[in-house]
């Protein structure tokens, strides 16, 4: 997160979409640990450090373009990603978080779905195209 902090300060972006992995359900998961599923598409996170307008736009694009996605609620102020570090940079940066469902994080047998990777790529492409116009200030 140190790199995200200094990078966001130096670049001073208006908007940011953070991409990171997110814990997915495994056979031994507790219901409170993971609620996303490998193979069910990109994870769009909702929470206090995600900009509501930007996140709503991304969620709308996923629905309109029929891009597989799932929703994850991030309670509290820290998703464990670079999102918070970027969001609080300078006067604040409108930040959204898209995750890749990952089983067995930080182990020798991490598992993802290439279909989920493709969903994220499509969603990022559609987001970039939508932001080409005048996206309202967040």
Instruction: Give the pLDDT band of residue 9 (cuts 50, 70, 90).
Output: low
pLDDT tens digits, 21-55:
888 998 888 777 778 999 999 999 998 888 899 99
Instruction: Give the pLDDT band of residue 86 (cuts 50, 70, 90).
Output: low
94 three-class SS:
strand
pTM of the model: 0.86
Cα–Cα separations (whole angstroms), residue 102 to 54, 72, 85, 109, 131: 24, 13, 22, 10, 28
Round to whole Å and give the CA distance between 50 and 138.
11
Structural domains for the chain: 2-130 (3.40.630.10)
């Amino acid at each position: 997160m140190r790199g995200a902090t200094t990078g966001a300060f130096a670049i001073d972006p208006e908007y940011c979409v953070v991409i990171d992995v997110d814990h997915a359900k495994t056979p031994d998961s507790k219901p409170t640990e993971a609620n996303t599923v490998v193979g069910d598409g990109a994870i769009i996170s909702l929470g206090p450090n995600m900009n509501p307008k930007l996140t709503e736009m991304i969620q709308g694009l996923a629905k309109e373009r029929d891009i597989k996605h799932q929703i994850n609620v991030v309670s509290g102020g820290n998703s464990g990603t670079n999102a918070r570090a970027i969001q609080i940079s300078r006067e604040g940066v409108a930040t959204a978080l898209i995750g890749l469902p990952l089983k067995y994080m930080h182990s020798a047998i991490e598992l993802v779905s290439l279909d989920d990777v493709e969903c994220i790529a499509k969603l990022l492409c559609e987001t970039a195209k939508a932001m080409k116009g005048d996206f309202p200030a967040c």
